[in-house]
Structure 1
Amino acid sequence: MESTAASHLLNSVVEVVARITSHALTDKEKESVVEGFRSFNKRLERIGSRNSLRQLAIESQKWRRRRQTPRCQHEDTSCVQNSIRGFIKAFLVGFGVKAGLSAASQLLSLRAFTRPRLLLSGFSRDTLGFAAFLSTLIGSYKAFLCAARHIRGSRSSEYTNALVAGMLAGLVSAKLDRNRSRRTAIALYLCTRAMQYGCIWLFERYVAQQQTEDDMIRRRLMQRAHSINTIIPVGPRRGRVTEAPPSPDCSAKTMPRPTRGIGALGGPGVEAAGGDSGGSSGGFAQWAIEFTRKYASSALMVVSNVGLIYPLVFHTESLSRGFANLLMVGSGYDSLNPRRELNGFKAIGCHVVGERAGRGIPAGMPTKAFFSQIPFAHKVADALDSTIHHDHVACGVLHPHTTSCTLGVAGTFLRGLPYAMRLHIPFNIAMLLLFQSQRLLKNPVGTLRSLVKSTVQSSVYFTLMIVGITNSTCLFRKAIGRDAVGNYILSGIVGGLAILVERPGRRGELSMYCFLRALEAAWDIGVKTGLWWNVRHGEVALFAASMGVLMSIFQNDPTTLSLTYHSTLTRIFGEN
């Protein structure tokens, strides 16, 4: 009796373990577990097992049959498992990366050696909130995508499924990050990416449609030419026809590209197909592709620089603080104003527009004495030499230690280049170790040579951009004899053209970063001037819409994305 009870108890335990295992493991893992249970079952046969292995095998076969006609593309996992695993993995990775970056910054600043507790600063509520935001975003996207596929059917549009899943995941996860400034920055970044790849996707569809229309026109012309040249009545008897040899001008290889529109098919003969067609079809599309590929990033950088220098001078509070610090340190302006306040640029703006517009520094009056009497500039007057006189306020701010604009340009370049080198050397080394470690091991000399070249190239670009944004205004000021708003727009264009010095592969990323900051400043200026108003939780809606567009493209047309960005999204969201 006791042996029977023990047999039933042991068999029940094994059955429970088998059921739990069948829900927790993937199909491949189930098969290995089945083999283990089979070997263990041989020992249980004498005490009357209740076929726990048979039930586990039946469930595994059910999953295998489901996988033969799947609605979802994830393999070896159920939809619930796929979502939960994505959530847990993203939480651990997000928390670890955020805490690791915080600890690394403390080590690089050398403060952690005097205060070791700073290494634990990354294990904070902010880090926990960021990890929860990232994990909820990824896990909920996987869950919503699977739900949309099951609800709408396996043959439903994946574009709509991914769009809806991305938007819902963005709405659910956005508020979990309590850092609003970071949340807004992420939303703006994704918005710029959605605009970029959305335009590329639409343009590719336009080109494909034009190509399809051209092919249809070409086939119709070939059919018409073939029918005219092959059915020719000859001989005295009526109705007798013979086939004439096909015209060499109407062969598939020599058929000219037809004119677009009705004119290509007009006329009773085949003259529309012969001769000059008036331009190759798809010429504009081809030209647009080449122009976009070569100059789109440069054009975007020019627009972005104009959008950055305008708030720097005329709406200083609207400019991103991080970008403002980058400009001040790179140009050496922080030596004039150690507290890094933009009072000097505010003073320039007051003398370009408003009551003081067009006024220069009176002749014979030292710049320091004049600065002490005008708004904002009096806060930087202490750093000036009391014997130097400048003709314009902008010259006194941009090159306070010399009256020569040429020497001011040289000084800005010489101060900015070492800073740019210090900025790019650790960044490029980190990128090399993270993404090109195999290349470094295979070809160390060539890789290091490429590293040095790219670092110098990027540093020169950064320095020229700052010189163009700031000191090139002196050139336009001398050309027209006074300060004007147009001077700063032109200087923004000059600074943007410095992107041509940078490697083509990096132009797009740099342009998108500057465009993001310009877009942020433009929105703030519009709110302050009353052109539009802030919408409560608007960054959440923007984040959700951007996520929907990006996920729809990533899920269905991944070739539209750049290789780097597609690789990044694949690492984050996985294959869905």
Structure 2
Amino acid sequence: MSASGDRKVAVDGRCTCFSVDNSDDDNKLHDRSCPHCRRSNLPSSSSSGSLLSFESIPVQEYDKLGRIFAASVKGFTIGAGLKGGLALFSVLARLRRRRLSPSAKKVEMVSSSYDVILAIKETLRYGLFLGTFAGTFVSVDEIIAAWGGHRRTAKWRALLAGAIAGPSMLLTGLNTQHNSLAIYILMRAAVLASRCGIKSKRFGRICKPLTWAHGDIFLMCLSSSQILCAYILKQDSLPPSYKSFLNKHGAKDSVILQGVKEIACGMPFTNLEAIEKYYQSTGVDIKLDPEMKVPCSMVHGNQQCALHFVSFLIQAYKRALPVYLPVYLIPALIVHRQGLLKRPYTILGKGVLGTARSSLFLSMYCSSAWMWTCFLFRIFKRCNIPMLAMGTFPTGLALAIEKKSRRIEISLYCFARAIESFVTCMADIGYLPPSKNYRRADVVIFSISTAIIMHCYAIERDVFRSKYLNVLDWVFGVPLPPYETTPRRSSQTK
């Protein structure tokens, strides 16, 4: 068949510039000056093999209903797999704690059954959530493409489909708020939008500060200041699960945190005897001074600050290992399932190294939080809220231990919780209306965020890192354009 102008396309869809001498490499288009070849190298759309170039290009036939079904099943698999894996490790950890606690042996069987049933329910809910999201997005995408045409609707189709799929979050529980998740996805959408802005000629200068090489560490420091202050001063501003996480890895009894809160807020002590009794139960005999200005003796008893840092770091590392084991194990089983059979030692070795490295980050993060605050308190001989905020700020420097590709993920995760905590604190003191006035605002924020993310996925795919793009392509089943063997270019924007 013939194309417009002087371009000639063979019956099999290849440009006539494709020479016989080069036929040994079917994965490359050899004449980069040919307009037809350049268009064939463009990214694929989110709904068909046609490209987002608004030109006449060969399209591969594929099963649309099969794509919808496959996306739903794969979405369910990922949701159930991730939530189920985390729930399994959580149940095993609780069972271990109960077996070590003599007072809990009588109710161990009943509690264990309840934990297992709850874990199964949560696993199914999150599986249905992601399965419905994937199925809804692909269904809407295909319907709009069929009615309005692939090329005519390409620029806005994924945006609308992502927004319509967002309310699938309700399947996790009609009365379950997901503010943290919604804010985190919003942060992810903002990152993708900023990467698009960096590439834009119009917004490139405005978004240039976002290219700062260590911006992720600064964001982590900023988040740490809010989160760790809330951990001591106002734990109710944190999500229950995250509060439990901080209490476990902060490893300080509630009476100690209450004492630090009282001295930081300038309040009279009300529980010094309770703190002394707590230390006596651990074999440490201590007498606290009611006139103290620095809470170091309250935080680590008779230990010196440096010695407390070392001992806390060792114990924190032991607590961190079970946290990151599923983080690296589950993706290895899902994402690298094929490579795991071919090169198991390489993939498992990277998983072990990643677990050790991330555990060191978390343990250093928690231990340095007490180190920095002690250091600052002793320098200025006082403890107040500004000093607490300043002392917890450099705690985020521990993120430098992590791999560069994981830093932005962790910083955004913590920043989302810091924003939620900050908004809650501002609402409690009257600067913002209570969050209860905005019922299911999390669903609205999540829908807006997924609309942005899926729009970038369809139009600006190169703003995604290749590993995420591969997962999205696997879930949503994006057909590849003719003669392209990899899902678009995988350039990573840092």
TM over 0.5: yes
Once the two structures are overlaid, the 10-residue window that deviates more, 295-304 or 431-440, is: 431-440
Task: For residues 375-398 of structure 1, give each alpha carbon's deviation from its aligned partner in whole angstroms, at most 9, with x where no partner exists.
Answer: 365554421245444644632442
Between the aligned partners of 1:123 and 1:298, the Cα distance in structure 2 is 34
Contact kept? 2:166, 2:447, Cα under 8 Å? yes
Contact kept? 2:70, 2:475, Cα under 8 Å? no
Between the aligned partners of 1:434 and 1:141, the Cα distance in structure 2 is 22
Task: For residues 178-232 of structure 1, give each alpha carbon's deviation from its aligned partner in whole angstroms, at most 9, with x where no partner exists.
Answer: 164463333222112111211112122248x77xxxxxxxxxxxxxxxxxxxxxx
Question: Which residue matches 2:23?
Answer: none
Contact kept? 2:294, 2:378, Cα under 8 Å? no
Superposition map of 1:3-18 within 5 A: none
Contact kept? 2:229, 2:388, Cα under 8 Å? yes
Contact kept? 1:95, 1:127, Cα under 8 Å? yes
TM normalised by structure 2 equals: 0.70
User: Identity of aligned pairs, percent?
Assistant: 21
Is 1:176 aligned to 2:171, yes or no?
yes
Is 1:557 aligned to 2:452, yes or no?
no
Consecutive unaligned residues of structure 2, counting only runs of 5 or more, are: 1-49, 100-107, 480-494
Question: Which residue matches 1:476?
Answer: 376
Contact kept? 1:384, 1:401, Cα under 8 Å? no
Q: 1:322 to 1:106 in 2, by over 3 A?
A: closer
Contact kept? 1:352, 1:485, Cα under 8 Å? yes
The residue type paired with residue 234 of structure 2 is: H
Is 1:318 aligned to 2:237, yes or no?
yes
Per-residue deviation, 1:465: 1.0
Question: Which residue matches 1:461?
Answer: 361
Between the aligned partners of 1:109 and 1:133, the Cα distance in structure 2 is 26
The residue type paired with residue 383 of structure 1 is: Y
3-state SS of the aligned residue for 2:295? helix
Per-residue deviation, 1:411: 2.5
Between the aligned partners of 1:451 and 1:493, the Cα distance in structure 2 is 30
Contact kept? 1:103, 1:119, Cα under 8 Å? no
Of 165, 178, 198, 2:193 maps to: 198
Between the aligned partners of 1:476 and 1:570, the Cα distance in structure 2 is 49
Is 1:77 aligned to 2:63, yes or no?
yes
Question: Which residue matches 2:129?
Answer: 133
Superposition map of 1:113-128 within 5 A: 121=117, 126-128=122-124
Q: 1:573 to 1:420 in 2, by over 3 A?
A: same
Between the aligned partners of 1:436 and 1:497, the Cα distance in structure 2 is 31
> Which is helix-richer, 1 or 2?
1
Q: 1:308 to 1:144 in 2, by over 3 A?
A: same
- Greater relative contact order structure (CA < 8 Å, 6+ sep): 2
Is 1:347 aligned to 2:259, yes or no?
yes
Is 1:167 aligned to 2:68, yes or no?
no
Per-residue deviation, 1:537: 1.8
Contact kept? 2:89, 2:326, Cα under 8 Å? no
Between the aligned partners of 1:558 and 1:549, the Cα distance in structure 2 is 12
Per-residue deviation, 1:76: 2.3
Between the aligned partners of 2:230 and 2:364, the Cα distance in structure 1 is 20
Per-residue deviation, 1:399: 0.7
TM normalised by structure 1 equals: 0.61
- Superposed CA RMSD: 3.9
Q: 1:344 to 1:571 in 2, by over 3 A?
A: farther
Aligned residues: 407
Q: 1:538 to 1:399 in 2, by over 3 A?
A: same
Between the aligned partners of 1:466 and 1:430, the Cα distance in structure 2 is 25
Per-residue deviation, 1:495: 0.8
Task: For residues 427-466 of structure 1, give each alpha carbon's deviation from its aligned partner in whole angstroms, at most 9, with x where no partner exists.
Answer: 4445445545666666666666655544433232222211
The residue type paired with residue 262 of structure 2 is: C
Per-residue deviation, 1:308: 0.9
Is 1:547 aligned to 2:450, yes or no?
yes
Superposition map of 1:281-360 within 5 A: 288=209, 291-292=211-212, 294-333=213-252, 337=253, 342-356=254-268
Question: Which residue matches 2:403?
Answer: 503
